[in-house]
Amino acid sequence: MKILAIRLARFGDLVLLLPALSLLKARLPNSHLTLLTDTRWGPLADMCPAIDQVITVDRIKMRDGPAWRAIIGMLRLVRDLRRRKFDATLDCHGFRETNLLTWWSGAPQRWGLKRFDQSFFGFCFNRPPVVENKSLHASEPFIRIVQGIAPFPTTAEPSPS
């Protein structure tokens, strides 16, 4: 199974995502896990043994550069994602842009994070969203997204006798 996880911004949030990606890889060890992130966080993602491949995007350059260059960059990114033929895409960011990237990935299975304070493009997903809950630890939504694609026991399994 080829899986794409998307988390573009914030170093700390990427750090909080890594345990969830490690759980995903442990549950689906034969999967190929690709992370799409900002170029600033690519070196951190490269250090995670659960991640097989890292795709980076320079969000600052896209944001601050000419609009035409950003559009061309996005079109190239979408073409690259579709070419890779992912089986599942996980939007671990929950912004409209990442909602659209999830949809544009062409993956048949699409999960996403629905932030409590942001718009959500529900049409981009075909699995129920994980709704952000500010009363839980910041890493919990990432764990819940992973549970959607690779369920794991929530109660202790009996030990073999």
**pLDDT tens digits for range 76-118:** 999 999 999 999 999 999 988 899 999 999 999 999 999 888 8
Average pLDDT over residues 59-68: 84
Report the chain's mean pLDDT, rounded to a whole number.
90
- Model confidence pLDDT, tens digit, residues 22-53: 999 999 999 999 999 999 999 999 999 999 99
pLDDT tier for residue 154 given thresholds of 50, 70 and 90: low
pTM for this predicted structure: 0.88
Q: Quote the pLDDT of residue 17.
A: 95
Res 158 pLDDT > 60: no
Question: For a pLDDT cut of 90, what percent of the chain falls above it?
Answer: 67
E strands, the chain, where? 2-6, 32-38, 53-57, 88-91, 109-114, 130-131
Average pLDDT over residues 116-127: 89
Average pLDDT over residues 131-159: 80
Helix pair 96-104, 67-84: axis angle to 10 deg: 40
Q: What are phi and psi of 10, to 5 degrees?
A: 70, 115
pLDDT tier for residue 146 given thresholds of 50, 70 and 90: very high
Res 63 pLDDT > 70: yes
Q: Quote the pLDDT of residue 74.
A: 87
Distance CA 51, CA 17 (A): 11
Top-confidence range, 26-40, 52-66, 131-145: 26-40
* Residues whose CB falls within 8 Å of the CB of residue 118, separated by 6 or more in sequence, listed in order: 94, 95, 96
* Residues whose CB falls within 8 Å of the CB of residue 50, separated by 6 or more in sequence, listed in order: 18, 21, 22, 24, 25, 26, 33
